[in-house]
Amino acid sequence: MTSYRFPKDFIWGVAAAAPQIEGAAFADGKGESIWDRFALKPGKIKNGNTPGVACDHYHRYREDFALMRGLGIKHYRLSIAWPRIYPLGDGTLNQAGLDFYRRLLDTLAEHGITPWVTMYHWDLPEALERRGGWRTRAVVEAFARYADTIVSAFGDQVKNWITTNEIPCFTDRAYGGGNKAPGLNEGATVVNQARHHALVCHGHGVRAVREHGGRGARVGFAENPEPTIPDSESAADVAAARAVFFTDNSRVLEPILCGRYSTRYLRSAGVARPKVRRGDFALIAQPVDFVGLNIYSGAIVRAGRGGRPERLPFPANYPRADSPWLYRTPAALYWGPRFVADIYGVKSIIITENGCGYDDEPVRRGQCLDLHRRDFLRSYLKELHRAIAGSVPVHGYLIWSFMDNFEWQDGYARRFGLCHVNFKTQKRTPKLSAHWYAEVMRRNRLL
């Protein structure tokens, strides 16, 4: 029987993001973010929820880190709120914001928890958005200054840096008619340029770590490429899935990992292709120390007539979480990392997010029996174990998320956490999945 034991130095941990848990939206000089503003627009967020209070982590981080320690969590992916550091995106530095994160990082160290810090997790300062946001080159200059500031300030406390989180989400789905803040529909030219600016910002994040991070500093990025899963493991189906993976995900992975846009992307973009300045790709393609993958669900692909790749639609009753996009496809955690490693020669992969969202998870008699989440995670981790056993270089796994939070357009209705949060009382209750995961981490194997 397979023991599902992981490598002895495997990194186990959890993840969260500032705009989803901190609250204190305007405390101590913090500026307005695009999500603070977007949430006020009628009909944009379920039940009219806002991130104004969220999990009140800003005031409760000591309690939260004690809870992490009690569960044996040793690695925590968090993000810094850009508007807490530079309320207007650039301009005057907010010292209170720097002081808050200094205290937070000190407390993590006291609990023996290693931070993995994301520089940008979707909370662009609203003042920058009013000046054009990701559509303009001004955002590149502002981000470069912001990255230099936080790495210089926290380089002695943070050795694991993540530049950006899911570039297509805050560009394509923010400016291309999606449901992410600021919720605009600007067309392909604007979207492609916004994505390019985000890539250049990633490059500045890498540069900042190399210049100011100090000895032992590592840097990568967190991307959410859609894994393609071959319908069978025949050579033809695997080749079809690999081809679709490359085509669908090359607009971000190709420039970062190869220093260019793919010919296919440029041809498809046509006159809407982004304007690239001299030196952009030198920044974008600086070597990274790891690639972070946020993996939830995948697409099923087969070789159709003549070997032509063909996506298979999910039937109406195909298993999924309450998030309508989150089909239960455990093999995504095998094929996603495998294709990234095979296509791009990546030597170190961290699963920076993986998890599932459900709506109704009540606490009864002090317990939240989320068997569905436990079984979801177990099935995915079996596939991750398979990838590692097959020499795919996955070195860590960070669950999304440590606790229920403000789940963007789904507000507080959808719960992804290992710990239940009562948003009226702010009481945290570790769910069944949290206790199971604590044992997985402790024993370094699946149970």
Residues annotated as part of the active site: 166, 353
3-state class (DSSP) for residue 136: coil
Distance CA 319, CA 369 (A): 19
Closest CA to 179 of 20, 25, 82, 46: 46
Distance CA 240, CA 381 (A): 25
Query: What single string gives the DSSP state of each residue in 300-332?
Result: EEEE-GGG-EEEEPPPTT--B-SSTT-B--TTH
Instruction: Decide the pairing of beta strands 349-353 and 290-294.
Output: parallel
Structure token digits, residue 345: 């020669």
Q: How many CB atoms lie within 10 A of CB 271?
A: 6
Q: How far is CA 286 from CA 161, 184, 370, 381, in A?
A: 14, 31, 42, 31
List Cβ neighbours of 142 (8 Å cut-off, separation of 6 or more).
86, 89, 90, 128
Closest CA to 120 of 79, 180, 158: 79
3-state class (DSSP) for residue 433: helix
Q: Which helix (H) or strand (E) holds 76?
A: strand 75-79
